[in-house]
Amino acid sequence: MRHPTDGTLRRLVDEPQGVADADREHVAGCPACLSGLAAAERDAAAAGAALDVRAALDIEDTTDVDAAWRRLSSAVAADGHRRAATTTPGRRWRTALRSPLVAVIGVAALVTGAGAAAAADWLPFFHAEKIAPVTAPQADLIKLPELDDFGELKVTEEIRVRPVESAAAAAKATGLSVPAVGELPRGVTGTPSYHIGQRTSALFTFSADKAAKFSADRGEPLPPPPPGLDGSQFRLNAGPGLAMVWAEGRPVPAMVVVRAVAPTAYSSGIPFETARDYLLSLPVIPDDVAAQLRGFSGDGTTLPLFMSAERLKSAAADVGGHPATVFSSRDGTMAGVVWVDGGVVTAVAGSLSADEVLSVARGLRVDR
């Protein structure tokens, strides 16, 4: 009969009952297979020694499970608060806006726990042509008001993200080209899964009463709104978008590549500049955040990417001639890069280094 495979010989080492009788009998009388079995035993023992560090061996006896449970409980509670703060009714727009557009932020939140940072809103008047980081202490980002603190927010086209079978299906559903990825970083393997989100849209109506009440609750008087702002309407659109996800079943993807139509916003009433200047003047917006937002070009083309100063650091880079923002977690567990090209936001992120995400970003090929 044929010799059993190396895999069968390996299983004979530590799970012989899983090997067929015929194979076992063959090996017992076959010098070549016995030699292979001995080699498998040696390698298995060496690997066992290499992996069974004393720390791992002792852990099952000495771990303080009670202390570990208390730590997890407080992490879960903190996580629950962050989630509650981002998913209450009327806050869906923010979630909607960030899910398909900058899914990278979802990854950042997952990997770094920076949910609160990622949840910060951006001011709603854009035709995004570039992205700039706004870095602030997490406490300040949490304090940023939501759109629905200043009026009524009605989501007119809900965000729906769903998996699709193939790159071709993703391209067809979104009208966006699916980028071809050059060389994958080490450790990122297999084929990606594809996800798409259709366009999402919302209508925001400014309410002077609601804004005044919100400010009063925060103990800050609301400066009088400029004429015409009360009742003004703003339409916000974002997407469609697509994501390629290299996850292979693990809870945190190794890498994601996202492309999405950048957000745009339209004002039905007063000029954009008037609304922006007023919102930035509000005492409820932390000074450091307002200063950074004010520093943008002022033409409503820069999409702020809010980052927690404690958890993330950012740097400027260049991807194919477009200014890009590279961000990485201070604990070194993840990095991402995001840029805008022709009204399309592209992001690459994952459990990678900044150099690795930049290398992938610069190697992307997009057919137009």
Q: Which stretch binds other proteins (CB under 8 A): 72-80, 90-98, 206-214, 297-305?
A: 72-80
Q: Which stretch binds other proteins (CB under 8 A): 79-87, 143-151, 266-274, 313-321?
A: 79-87
Handedness of CA 336, 191, 44, 57 (dihedral sign): positive
> Of 2, 31, 32, 50, which one interacts with other proteins (CB under 8 A)?
50
| By the rule CB under 8 A, 163 interacts with other proteins | no
201, containing H or E segment: strand 200-206
153, containing H or E segment: strand 151-157
In angstroms, what is the minimal distance from the CB of 88 to other proteins?
13
365 touches 182 (CB < 8 A)? yes
Cite the DSSP H helix spans in the chain: 6-14, 21-28, 31-51, 54-62, 65-87, 92-101, 103-112, 115-118, 138-143, 167-174, 208-217, 272-281, 287-294, 354-363
**Torsion from C-alpha of 168, 174, 177, 178, nearest 10 degrees:** -60
The smaller minimum CB distance to other proteins, of residues 71 and 162, is found at 71
Q: Which of 111, 254, 109, 240 is nearest to 192 (CA)?
A: 254
> Of 10, 91, 92, 94, which one interacts with other proteins (CB under 8 A)?
10
259 touches 342 (CB < 8 A)? no
> Of 2, 31, 54, 365, which one interacts with other proteins (CB under 8 A)?
54
The smaller minimum CB distance to other proteins, of residues 294 and 330, is found at 330
| By the rule CB under 8 A, 200 interacts with other proteins | no
Retrieve residue 79's tokens: 């996580």
In angstroms, what is the minimal distance from the CB of 22 to other proteins?
14
| By the rule CB under 8 A, 186 interacts with other proteins | yes
By CB under 8 A, what part of segment 252-311 binds other proteins? 252, 254
Q: For the sheet with 161-164, list strands across it.
A: 161-164, 193-197, 241-246, 255-261, 344-350, 335-341, 322-329, 312-319
By CB under 8 A, what part of segment 302-331 binds other proteins? 331
Q: Which stretch binds other proteins (CB under 8 A): 65-73, 98-106, 122-130, 166-174?
A: 65-73
| By the rule CB under 8 A, 355 interacts with other proteins | no
In angstroms, what is the minimal distance from the CB of 256 to other proteins?
13
Residue type at 308 in one-letter notation: S
Alpha carbons 34 and 215: distance in angstroms, whole number: 80
In angstroms, what is the minimal distance from the CB of 48 to other proteins?
6
Q: Which stretch binds other proteins (CB under 8 A): 93-101, 211-219, 297-305, 345-353?
A: 345-353
120 touches 144 (CB < 8 A)? yes
Q: Which stretch binds other proteins (CB under 8 A): 37-45, 89-97, 315-323, 336-344?
A: 37-45
Alpha carbons 176 and 199: distance in angstroms, whole number: 12
In angstroms, what is the minimal distance from the CB of 137 to other proteins?
23
Contact positions toward other proteins, by CB under 8 A? 5-11, 14-15, 18, 40, 43-44, 46-61, 63, 65, 68-69, 71-73, 75-77, 79-81, 83-84, 110, 186-187, 189-190, 248-252, 254, 331-335, 351-353
